[in-house]
Structure 1
Amino acid sequence: MNKIKKDDTVIVISGKDKGKRSKVLRVFPKENKILVDNVNVVKKHQRPTQQMREGGIIEQPKPIYISKVMLVCPNCDQKTRVGFKFLEDGTKVRYCKKCGEIIEKA
């Protein structure tokens, strides 16, 4: 179970986009990377193709390492570390290490 999932709100803690707060668009668990909205945006020179009639310089986000972001707790609204615990019915859930609240049920 990953500590960060799709549609989580995260804050960047290092790099050129330090301090930005945004939503996770996609998770790549094998590469330990995530795609975050409006973070690590690069310019790409695109040649015209049959699908895309116009070429030019387009901007697109690139994945960043999971270790460069921290989860923002929806309850206390602070960046926090994530812990795991089992409930009485045996389900594994993520919880906020600052306030102790369950982030979401898996």
Structure 2
Amino acid sequence: MAASTPTRIKMKIRKGDTVQVITGKDKGKTGEVIRTFPWENRVLVQGVNLRTKHVKPTQEGESGRILTEETSLHASNVMVYSTSKQVASRVELVVDKDGNKKRRLKKTGEFLD
């Protein structure tokens, strides 16, 4: 039986949003979403979930070094963060009079788009 292709998950978090980590080792940290992975339901947040990678020296003369880079988080572990009210909130989709969908924070009522 052939492996089926994964379905795309509708994410309410987008690139450029400010989010707060709500669980895990980086709980309470905030950062901007650098990239989203909707097929895996994951997000890459700036300055959160850092991993260190040790690079060995090469024969071409480059010295060894230690790199730190962000790794992805599951989208359920972050919430959109309101920088003006300093609170994390869920996101709801609202349809305006013209029929356009807009994202709005449930706690503060402010629009994201």
TM-score (norm 1): 0.85
- Residue correspondence of structure 1 range 45-56 to structure 2 within 5 A: 45-48=54-57, 53-56=62-65
For the Cα contact (< 8 Å) 1:74–1:103, is it kept in 2? no
AA at the equivalent of 2:91: V
Matched, 1:100 2:109: yes
Q: Percent identity?
A: 43
Matched, 1:79 2:83: no
Matched, 1:21 2:9: no
Partner of residue 89, structure 1:
98
Q: Describe the SS at the equivalent of 1:102.
A: coil
Question: Matched residue pairs, number?
Answer: 102
State the structure with more CA Rg.
2
RMSD value, Cα: 1.8
Distance 1:83 1:54 in 2: 50
Query: Unmatched 5+ residue regions in structure 2?
Result: 1-9
Q: Summarize the Cα distance change of 1:69–1:75 in structure 2 as closer, same or farther, 3 Å threshold.
A: same
TM-score (norm 2): 0.80
Of 53, 60, 66, the match for 1:44: 53
